[in-house]
Amino acid sequence: LPAPPPARPTFHHGDLRSALIAAVGELIEVHGPDGFSVAEAARRAGVSSAAPYKHFRDRPEILRAVVAEAMDRLHAAMTAAAAGQTPGSPEQIAAVGHAYVDFARAGPGVFRLVFGLTEGHDEDPSLQAKGQACFDVVARAVAASLGQPVEADAVQRSAYVLWTCVHGHAFLTIDRKADVVATGFDDHSYLMAVARAVLERAAAGTVGG
Amino acid sequence: LPAPPPARPTFHHGDLRSALIAAVGELIEVHGPDGFSVAEAARRAGVSSAAPYKHFRDRPEILRAVVAEAMDRLHAAMTAAAAGQTPGSPEQIAAVGHAYVDFARAGPGVFRLVFGLTEGHDEDPSLQAKGQACFDVVARAVAASLGQPVEADAVQRSAYVLWTCVHGHAFLTIDRKADVVATGFDDHSYLMAVARAVLERAAAGTVGG
DNA sequence: TGTACATCAGTGAACGCGCGTTCACTGATGTAC
DNA sequence: TGTACATCAGTGAACGCGCGTTCACTGATGTAC
């Protein structure tokens, strides 16, 4: 018979909310975004299957908390990456992209969850704001490069193109679909190539239309 | 009590295999790639829950069949799109990209399944070949543009960059994450911008490194 | 410092549910003669 | 053309399973006096 979960030293857990979010994250890495169960997360946290309901209304609310926490981490990583480079340089764009790709690779399951379409997530204003904040990190770098305001069409378009490239690259690698490409295109050369291409074309005014 | 499933005119279904694949596809659009059940697919096909096991070993095998069928459709659509345009033109690249994006939008759930990481799919040589065939449609267009063989590094890299852009754009739109971008960037202008950018840079020999 | 008590975070048993899969079966099909 | 029979695609009942959630409960915490 299976060993009982490691008995907590105290009756109260201490920080069950965080422990559950972490446990769900781990389960999602193993079983995919839909493959986790409240019961198994509770087991991992060493707690009865009813305990989670003291902290979350239901299963979807737990999922939303996992997404929120992950988006905060992504935003922090992108911001830190941008801070370490010259504003507006291709190197800065590449560094932000690298943070994005690293985030995806470090937790592919959670990455898919964050960027997937989950009922109720797109209507949540706090999640929307976190997504916008991530995009703005890229947009600010592009704006600095072009010497135009962040809201300018050229800036928004170029930032979007960069986003699609990096997003696609992140997905294709975590989903192991990038192996078909015969040549060795490592993250750095890919990101620099894309950053230079978009910035130069934007500066020349040839993006969009 | 619920109405019984519409009685088939005959005891035998006729083409249960195809009917199940179609039913699973529809269910995936509603419930996501993990959200379908063999039982519900059987119900949709008007058949007992044991019937599917006459055609498929188990649940994963049904999924694999759905993926195979979808990849064939994607390849056909990309090939048809390429055939309608001048080989190597940006318009041809854009048209192939459009077929890709349309495929994603027509069945987002199945698209996520096809390009997601599902246990056993990457080891299936027949699925691998289908993926390669899709990539080659793009690579051939790029090769025609550059006047280089398909296997050339520059061709493979440029085709990969194109793939990431279009893949990222497809995902961001079906997952409703592209709305953050303030400006109206429709499919056509996006695809043409990306196609021109990549082809011109590749011709100038500035991709990669 | 000590005690009473409200609050809160846990427990564990129970529920109903739908699922994947197996089983012995039966009705329809098609082929050999 | 007619019949016997092997084959195959269905049926429907059954199984064991893990899940999400609720419930009445109890042990620990912290605050007011």
- Check whether A207 has a pLDDT greater than 80: no
Question: What is the pLDDT at residue B4?
Answer: 41
Nearest-by-CA chain A residue for B123: A176
Alpha-carbon A91 to chain mean position: 20
Asked if the Cβ–Cβ distance from A165 to B168 is below 8 Å, we say yes
A19 touches strand C (CB under 7 A): no
Q: What is the mean pLDDT of residues B162-183?
A: 92
Interface test with A, best of B162, B183, B188, B190 (most A CBs within 10 A): B183
Alpha-carbon span B169 to A174, nearest angstrom = 17
- Check whether A6 has a pLDDT greater than 90: no
Q: How far is the CA of A48 from the C1' of C14 (A)?
A: 14
Query: Residue B115: its chain A contacts at CB < 8 A?
Result: 171-172, 175, 177
Contact yes or no for B69/B107 (Cβ under 8 A): no
Q: Whole-model pTM above 0.85?
A: yes
Nucleotide nearest B5, CA–C1', reads D11
Q: What is the mean pLDDT of residues A141-155?
A: 96
Q: How far is the CA of B190 from the C1' of C33 (A)?
A: 70
The number of CA neighbours under 13 Å toward the Cβ of B186 is 2
A10 touches strand D (CB under 7 A): yes
pLDDT in tens, B102-115: 999 999 999 999 99
Asked if the Cβ–Cβ distance from B116 to A175 is below 8 Å, we say yes
Nucleotide nearest A47, CA–C1', reads C10
Query: What type of residue sits at position A50?
Result: A
pLDDT in tens, B199-208: 999 999 877 6
pLDDT in tens, B11-61: 777 799 999 999 999 999 999 999 999 999 999 999 999 999 999 999 999
Question: What is the pLDDT at residue B3?
Answer: 40
Smallest Cα distance from A146 to chain B, Å: 17
Q: Which helix (H) or strand (E) holds A39?
A: helix A38-44
CB contact set of A179 (below 8 Å; sequence gap of 6+): none
